[in-house]
Structure formats: C-alpha cells, structure tokens
Amino acid sequence: MPGLAAKMEPRPDHGEDSYVGSGKLEGRKALITGGDSGIGRAAAIAFAREGADVAIAYLPEEQSDADEVMELIRQEGRKAVGLAGDVKDQSWCNEMVKQALADLGGLDILVVNAARQQYRETLEDVSTYDFDDTMKTNLYALHWIAKMATPHMPPGASVITTASIQAYEPSPILLDYATTKAGIVAYTKALAKQLIEKGIRVNAVAPGPVWTVLQPSGGQPDEKVRQFGKDSDFGRPAQPAELAPIYVLLASQDGSYLNGEVFGVTGGKGIA
Ligand code: NAD
C-alpha cells in the first residue's frame, strides 16, 4: 500500500524548506530558547521567513547548530542574535533577556521552549540532582525569563511556552519531566490572566512525538523513529516544521483572540 508507506515516512530533512512566509511578523523581534535545535529551530526559521528578527538562546555545546540557524535567519534578510548559556542559572536568564532586548532593540515575541528530558525507570532512579535539574531547566527558567522579559514587552506582544502531551498523559519513566510540563500548562494559563491587562497574550503548545534529537538530519528513518510515533494517526512523529505554523499563529495578529490556550499537536491523540 503506497499510501500507507508515504504516511509512515518522515521526510529525511528538517522539513523547514516547506515554510513560506507572508509578512505576518514583519518588524517584530523574537527571543526563542532552545532555538538552535528541533522545534525551536523550526520556529526561529519560520519567524524569520515571516519578517521577524530573531535571537536564539541555546546550550553552548559542540554539536549545536546555532551558527547554521543564524545563517538561515540572515538569509531571510533578518537580524540573527545567538545567546549561549545555561537556563538553569537565573543570572544567565536575566543576562540573556537583557542581551536580547539590547541586540534586537525590543521584544515582541518570547518563546520559552528549551527543556531537559531524561528517561528514568523507577522512582529510585530519579535522583534529587535530576529532579532539581529538570525543574530548573524546564520550569524555574520559564518563571525567571518571563519575569525579566515581560515588563519590557509592549501591548500586542506574545509569550509562547512549549509544554507536552506528557502534561496530560505522563509516562512513568518521565516523572520529573512530565511534572514540569504540567507545571508549564498551569503557569501559562495563570500568567495569561495576569498579562492580558497589559495586552500581552500567553499560550502554550503541547506537542506529541516530534522527530528531533532522536534522529539526526539527513538520515533515513529507522525503527526507533517509527516506534516513537507509532501511536499517532500518521504512524510517525511530527517534523519540527509541522509545528512551526502554530508558533506563528500564536505569535502573530492572527492569534489576537487566543490567550491561556494550550494547543495540542499530537497527530490525533489529543490532549484532555
Ligand atoms: P531539542 O533537543 O531538539 O532541543 C532542545 C533545546 O533546548 C536545545 O536547543 C538546547 O540547546 C536547549 N536546552 C536544553 N537544556 C538547556 C539548558 N539547560 N540551557 C539552555 N538551553 C537548553 O528538543 P525539542 O524536541 O525540539 O524540544 C523543544 C521543546 O519541545 C521542549 O520543551 C520539549 O520538552 C518539547 N517537546 C518535545 C517533544 C518531542 O517529541 N521532541 C514532545 C513534546 C514536547
């Protein structure tokens, strides 16, 4: 059945070339944490194609694609800023926001997307260090960054968080991660109610399986990738680029009536 085979195959690239912008974010300035990889990378490139200047924040690691992502942003004629540091560190979160504000000349769109995820089989395997690390990277950093950035964001601005289907269907082997994602959903909804008075909207995206760190770009899909997405209606994980339009919707005027919402992108599983 050729139809089914096509449904199963993730494209063997980032899939981002398919995104065509139409000026929806012209002149806007965006900061995206985790912007060098996966979903954050796809959002960064889509934002640039829509006319935004983009600062990407990322962990300074040898295998980071930050330079490539910044080059792709520049190819769109937009300003690209790279901010390397660890969001577990509150002083870095503060510095990162300050630098983004200075280098971009303001901030209209904040995407808090960086995360740590580690599989741990049993409760005993989740060390206090692990728990603390995951809380800081995924949840505290959101608070620190939002607190630092949002007072500088103008009416019409947008904050987007990346939650997960794990907030709704926590896996036993992702105990700490799933807990942070449920926290992100609650935080997003509460912050949305506060900031709407200032004209700032706050929403979350809750992805299901997305083909990111599990499969390096350019490779052929292997059994691991198929297994990862087998429960979706498509029999495969999403490409990061398939999430980018949701981030653009939430960031742009098209999302002007969206606040405190959580958008599941789960390939049909849905979020409760
Ligand atoms: P990814 O591994 O491709 O990217 C993770 C990014 O986070 C990297 O850019 C990395 O630099 C950054 N990061 C990690 N720890 C950091 C730290 N301590 N300080 C600064 N930056 C740090 O992952 P992805 O799959 O694109 O994930 C993006 C978001 O999507 C995450 O919030 C993740 O929880 C969420 N998500 C992913 C999936 C999936 O299946 N891939 C599913 C649901 C939710």
Does residue 79 fall inside a structural domain? yes
Cα of 137 from ligand 1 centre, angstroms: 10
Does residue 210 fall inside a structural domain? yes
pTM: 0.94
Query: For position 229, what pLDDT does the model report?
Result: 83
pLDDT tens profile 15-70:
666 789 999 999 999 999 999 999 999 999 999 999 999 999 999 988 899 999 99
Length of the chain: 272
Does residue 240 fall inside a structural domain? yes
φ and ψ of 51, to 5 deg: 105, 10
Does residue 123 fall inside a structural domain? yes
Its domain, for residue 216, covers 21-263
Query: For position 14, what pLDDT does the model report?
Result: 57
What's the ipTM? Answer: 0.99
pLDDT tens profile 83-107:
999 999 999 999 999 999 999 999 9
Does residue 217 fall inside a structural domain? yes
φ and ψ of 158, to 5 deg: -135, 135
pLDDT tens profile 223-254:
666 677 888 999 888 989 999 999 999 999 99
pLDDT tens profile 182-211:
999 999 999 999 999 999 999 999 999 998
Does residue 165 fall inside a structural domain? yes
Q: Quick check: 214 pLDDT over 80? A: no
Query: For position 65, what pLDDT does the model report?
Result: 92
Q: What is the CATH number of the domain that holds 253?
A: 3.40.50.720
Cα–Cα distance measured from residue 256 to residue 271, given in angstroms and rounded to the nearest whole number: 23
Kindly list the protein residues whose Cβ atom lies closer than 6 A to any atom of ligand 1. 33-34, 36-40, 58-59, 86-88, 113-117, 137, 162, 164, 207, 209-210, 212-213
User: Ligand 1 test: best mutation among 16, 39, 94, most atoms within 8 Å of CB?
Assistant: 39
Does residue 270 fall inside a structural domain? no
Query: For position 4, what pLDDT does the model report?
Result: 40
Structural domains of the chain, count: 1
Does residue 74 fall inside a structural domain? yes
Query: Given 58, 168, 177, 247, which residue is catalytic?
Result: 177
